[in-house]
Structure 1
């Protein structure tokens, strides 16, 4: 992987591996493995120690997770912002198909749409403000297989206008406990916490001692859930509010990083990942627990070597960290460069539970369990993004497709088209549309066909 520094010990391990090799097969996995799915909020592609792009960042526990598991170098979020990705993760459907293509605004939908469309040629496309009640979630499916299910942390699929509430609950019926989760601690309409320190003003969790840090509290709740369900299969979705703004961390951590709150927050995230892994180890659950570590979109503070940040359709807005760890099943120190994305987690968990995706309508992804276990005969397939929304961070209000090494982006507002060869140009520096117009046209047609297939909402003229 040329974008990992060559002086890295991890790099030396990675370059010895071809594809995603292992001796394991899908048939050798446990009948009902536990699933721990850690979804971090706004964690950038290179904001982890093992990437070595930001030497100040210290993440020994996440680094260990990578060194004893598999790094997916080409993992993507279904959207450059949070709510659409989160909806996609639990349903296995694209944000475009769900009609939930933008983050659900805390300021309220009417105010948000008016603000974002002001002065633009195109106005914001229609999108929902909650996860539809009739959508089947992976938690509901796993419950039918005897799994205990727990959601701990940020949900952000429960209605708009959360900043005007006293407890983050806009409509209780849209909280995780109504979508298949036995336990819901912290999941409500909030897109960011009212406070990173207790009192939290969150109606789905009790306050701790004054000054208790939210990331620590959620980590403790994750440990408690594992301990309470150690005798039966469980699905734990730990969705941290970290590292979303407003940035905040304990004073001693901030001091350690000379005032850098973001780095301090990452350190606290890492501590709590370590806490979860230590609990699994102490309970002898590592060999029957698959752990997946992921981010809901790109980071806000630079994603070297990628172009762009959260909110953009460039790689920095949608390419994210993904680690898959499963002791003695996923090969330690391995890497996989096959692209995967948010819609793939649902079918992956179905396969873990020995269920066929053919029995579930509307799924748009594929299981990446064979990749994690070392099978390499996976053909290239197109990945799609539909983001008909304005953002101040960069290239947005558009759509994109990646197919093999090629990536095509169309910007709706300007009608500009971009074509990149990611194999040679990971930083998306050279637009190849004029050089390879046929390839651009081919990808454009595929993208339009997909948009038609999912009945994607399109922006209209702002008259």
Structure 2
């Protein structure tokens, strides 16, 4: 066996908008995810893993760069713009070409590099093939598919037969790559478009979940509660719509289809004899969509969802399987953030840290995976924008059990002990002033270090007589 074959293959599965509570192994009783539950039982499941942002593009940029979104400059979902009490701030609308991407580092280290699925990190000049991927299937500037049913309308994915389902097709493409990989180690970057809107799922599965909702009495529950007006001017005639229970049959069907496709990919690794030498990582780019745009899921017990600085928008599932290296049935409480994948994968591959990796924010979690505990450190967020979900611009820090959020509209802070109060219902900023001051100071120093852009007050107000 040559030295290259001893290096692990890396399969990194990133799901779009999958909530922390959307898997059976994370507590869902409505969605059915047997394959992902088995994956978790065969490896490690992290309870306190986070995306680097509450929306997609910044998190994706952090994975590819190993840096916080604020340092890269991609702080908003690419194409997004909104104002309210605050003006918007500029951001890079592509992953800068000068970033030495994770794919480049792995390719330079001897890996085959394949991207399959969503990219959303810029237009043609910054697609995956320009950032170190040998193969690009489905990656382009789109943030979501025009359709999950062929014809897809994705410029980098030829349409399949009428009625073909996108998640099935992307998994087929990934399996083909695995089956034809040969002996050279590979990095499969499988970034599914699911479970982002539009909520479109195989009809037979939808019908099954409609019946399940009736059996459980969920169809009798008022699942969505109208809330306060949206803070963005273009949505000011709308209200936040909070889903309080997981009961949407279409979304549940998308989750089950996704789970089945992950199972097919795992079967392919088994069938080709590659499973024992493959590091598999499964996670999401932000929290579940729970407060607008149909509010298809609920992140309870976490607060809010995608687009918010509360944990429903930031905390994500993270499952890692690496036979012979990661013990099965591991439940790990270590703090993990998406820039950590870059150094972790290089360490797993035995690739030295390249000189281009200056200002790296990620920290390898290999020690957590192999020894059960990683070095304690704070993690940070900076989202200086309004999204489309009702959240407002802010920044945050988590250190140990504590999380502090600074909201830029009025610069007030909120402090939570996430072990005692996972739902972030009891603000302790006034009762724990010392902790609040310490974390707020650390957050301020970090914002200075990454040269974070802070939104300024809007000099004009919305006009009631104008639409939108």
TM normalised by structure 1 equals 0.87
2:26 aligns with: 51
> 1:90-120: per-residue Cα shift (whole Å, max 9, x none)?
1101110011111012xxxxxx53xx21xx2
Whole-Å separation in 1 of the counterparts to 2:69 and 2:101? 14
Deviates more, 1:75-84 or 1:253-262: 253-262
Counterparts of 1:303-314 in structure 2, within 5 Å, are 303-314=299-310
Q: 1:35 aligns with which of 2, 10, 14?
A: 10
Question: Cα 1:200–1:395, aligned 2, differ >3 Å: closer, same or farther?
Answer: closer
2:326 aligns with: 330
Whole-Å separation in 1 of the counterparts to 2:371 and 2:201? 39
Contact residue 92 and residue 346 of structure 1 kept, 8 A: yes
Contact residue 308 and residue 394 of structure 1 kept, 8 A: no
Question: Cα 1:453–1:358, aligned 2, differ >3 Å: closer, same or farther?
Answer: farther
2:94 aligns with: 130
Q: 2:134 aligns with which of 150, 162, 182?
A: 182
Q: 2:149 aligns with which of 187, 193, 197?
A: 197
Whole-Å separation in 2 of the counterparts to 1:444 and 1:394? 24
> 1:385-405: per-residue Cα shift (whole Å, max 9, x none)?
000011353443010000111
Counterparts of 1:223-262 in structure 2, within 5 Å, are 223-258=175-210, 260-262=249-251
1:84 aligns with: 58
Question: Cα 1:279–1:99, aligned 2, differ >3 Å: closer, same or farther?
Answer: same
Deviates more, 1:121-130 or 1:273-282: 121-130
Whole-Å separation in 1 of the counterparts to 2:203 and 2:370? 42
Cα drift, residue 357 of structure 1:
3.3
Cα drift, residue 313 of structure 1:
0.6
Secondary structure, aligned partner of 1:401: strand
Q: 2:42 aligns with which of 64, 68, 72?
A: 68
1:24 aligns with: none
Q: 1:263 aligns with which of 229, 252, 269?
A: 252
TM normalised by structure 2 equals 0.86
Contact residue 395 and residue 411 of structure 1 kept, 8 A: no
1:447 aligns with: 443
Whole-Å separation in 1 of the counterparts to 2:379 and 2:97? 26
Whole-Å separation in 2 of the counterparts to 1:391 and 1:175? 24
Matched pairs, number: 411
Whole-Å separation in 2 of the counterparts to 1:366 and 1:356? 14
> 1:356-406: per-residue Cα shift (whole Å, max 9, x none)?
337321210111111111242x33211000000113534430100001111
Contact residue 357 and residue 363 of structure 1 kept, 8 A: no
Question: Cα 1:200–1:358, aligned 2, differ >3 Å: closer, same or farther?
Answer: closer
Q: 2:396 aligns with which of 369, 394, 400?
A: 400
Contact residue 148 and residue 234 of structure 1 kept, 8 A: yes
1:161 aligns with: none
Counterparts of 1:259-298 in structure 2, within 5 Å, are 260-298=249-287
Whole-Å separation in 2 of the counterparts to 1:142 and 1:434? 47
Whole-Å separation in 2 of the counterparts to 1:405 and 1:398? 20
Counterparts of 1:402-421 in structure 2, within 5 Å, are 402-421=398-417
Q: 2:370 aligns with which of 373, 386, 389?
A: 373
Whole-Å separation in 2 of the counterparts to 1:379 and 1:415? 31
Runs of 5+ in structure 2 lacking a partner?
A: 211-247, 290-296, 460-468
Cα drift, residue 354 of structure 1:
1.2
Whole-Å separation in 2 of the counterparts to 1:248 and 1:317? 22
Contact residue 31 and residue 354 of structure 1 kept, 8 A: no
Cα drift, residue 74 of structure 1:
0.4
Secondary structure, aligned partner of 1:74: strand
Cα drift, residue 56 of structure 1:
2.0
Whole-Å separation in 1 of the counterparts to 2:5 and 2:421? 40
Runs of 5+ in structure 1 lacking a partner?
A: 1-28, 106-111, 159-170
1:22 aligns with: none
Provide the aligned C-alpha RMSD in A: 1.5
Contact residue 279 and residue 320 of structure 2 kept, 8 A: yes
Q: Which runs of 4+ in 1 moved over 6 A?
A: none
Cα drift, residue 181 of structure 1:
0.5
Whole-Å separation in 2 of the counterparts to 1:396 and 1:288? 44
> 1:437-458: per-residue Cα shift (whole Å, max 9, x none)?
1111111111111111111111
Secondary structure, aligned partner of 1:156: coil
Contact residue 105 and residue 354 of structure 2 kept, 8 A: no
Whole-Å separation in 2 of the counterparts to 1:328 and 1:347? 20
Cα drift, residue 149 of structure 1:
0.5
Whole-Å separation in 2 of the counterparts to 1:90 and 1:65? 24
1:167 aligns with: none
Contact residue 230 and residue 283 of structure 1 kept, 8 A: no
Whole-Å separation in 1 of the counterparts to 2:302 and 2:163? 37
Whole-Å separation in 2 of the counterparts to 1:347 and 1:451? 22
Counterparts of 1:6-25 in structure 2, within 5 Å, are none
> 1:166-217: per-residue Cα shift (whole Å, max 9, x none)?
xxxxx32111011000110110011000110111111111111011000000
